[in-house]
Amino acid sequence: MAVIEGGVTGSLAEVDQTHLAQRITGRPMHVGARGSYSWGGVTGILPAALAANSEIFQFRFVHASFLCLLRSVRICAAVTTTAFAAGVPIGLEMRNALAWTGQGTGTRITWGTDDAKKRASFGTTVLGANDVAIATTAALGAGTKTLNGVACAHIIAQPGTLVTAFVPPGTVLWQRDTAEEYPFLYENQQGFVIRSVEVPGTGTWKCAVHVEWSEIDPAAVSGW
């Protein structure tokens, strides 16, 4: 049986002598003095008359030295009081934003000390008041930013003519599937938006958004 030893300590790992396999215990990544977070929210009743490419959700990260590691974005959408016209799909997209120097308008999210933490001992999120926004009954104001020229995720859904969900709960808009897959990593004044690319001319709807992310200090956490 092989033994791996550190320079100043005893055995750090042992290799199975029968199967020649090193055994490990999977754990969440180290985040240092920062933390990992989860937030969910829902729009108000949105009209069918939203203009093409209307922003219904905004996530803006602002910090001079910390980084935001995005883990997943999930959505759900449902018809509310008025069904849509038959045969016309709805398109939703996620698009990254750079040089986000000015917040937009619309319903903004404020954060309490323990809000969104996945563990009580984590640091309070560095997301500022108004850095996250979700639409109520109209599109969000864009603010000052530069959107990427292409979407990083896009789905289409057929709402049909019934008052029902047309994007099922927990639908993945984007997520980091494996540990070796590079995540979206946002630096100061960067983030993403969700836009309704196209909406039928009749009907009303709501959209729920669930975001998971980690905030890390690259000076304390290696690899970033």
| Chain segment 142-159, per-residue pLDDT in tens | 999 999 999 999 998 877
For position 180, what pLDDT does the model report? 72
What is the average per-residue pLDDT within 82-108? 86
What is the average per-residue pLDDT within 22-49? 83
- Residue appearing with tokens 């323990």: 114
Helix then strand then coil, in percent of the chain rounded to 5, is 0, 45, 55
Q: For residue 196, what are the domain limits?
A: 33-216
* 2, part of any domain: no
Q: How far is the C-alpha of 159 from the C-alpha of 88, rounded, in Å? A: 8
* 22, part of any domain: no
Closest CA to 135 of 65, 215, 51, 62: 51
pLDDT-derived band at 115 (thresholds 50, 70, 90) equals: very high
* 16, part of any domain: no
pTM: 0.85
* Total domains, the chain: 1
* 4, part of any domain: no
For position 186, what pLDDT does the model report? 96
The number of C-alpha atoms within 13 Å of 128 and in the hemisphere containing its C-beta is: 11
* 75, part of any domain: yes
* 28, part of any domain: no
* 8, part of any domain: no
For position 19, what pLDDT does the model report? 67
* 123, part of any domain: yes
